[in-house]
Amino acid sequence: MGLKDKKEVRKNRSFAESFKHAFDGLVILCKTERNFRFHLIASLIVVIISFILKIDLSQWVWILLAIFIVLIAEVVNTLCESIVNLIVGNKYDEIAKKAKDVAAAGVVIASIFAAIIGLLVYVPIIFGL
């Protein structure tokens, strides 16, 4: 199957090739998605705070789980938006809007989960509870 730029679409030949494409996807996310960059910076700040507060292993598990759930939700949101844009182009479509809004809601839900985890981990440490 040929594309406009004459590149062939085919299955990856090796794990290394698959990994390269996945890494390319991360680069694209960082370059083009403002919200993904925001979540990465927020994640870095959370990790630094966690080191400063010397959280224990079980707390690290929860913090890292929260971080990665938010990042994965942002990836899924971007994926959904890209597919919808590919299908509908520049025209408005109510179902396309619904799909994009629901995907964005997934990021909000993941972010609320992360905030709750942050409160459960950090408040007792900060206030000595």
Residues serving a catalytic function are 74
Enumerate residues 6+ apart whose C-beta is below 8 A from 83.
none
Geometric angle at alpha carbon 104, from 40 and 20, rounded to 5°: 50
Phi, psi of 3 (to 5 degrees): -110, 175
Nearest CA to 38 among 63, 62, 64, 70? 70
d(CA 77, CA 67): 15
3-class SS of residue 127 = coil
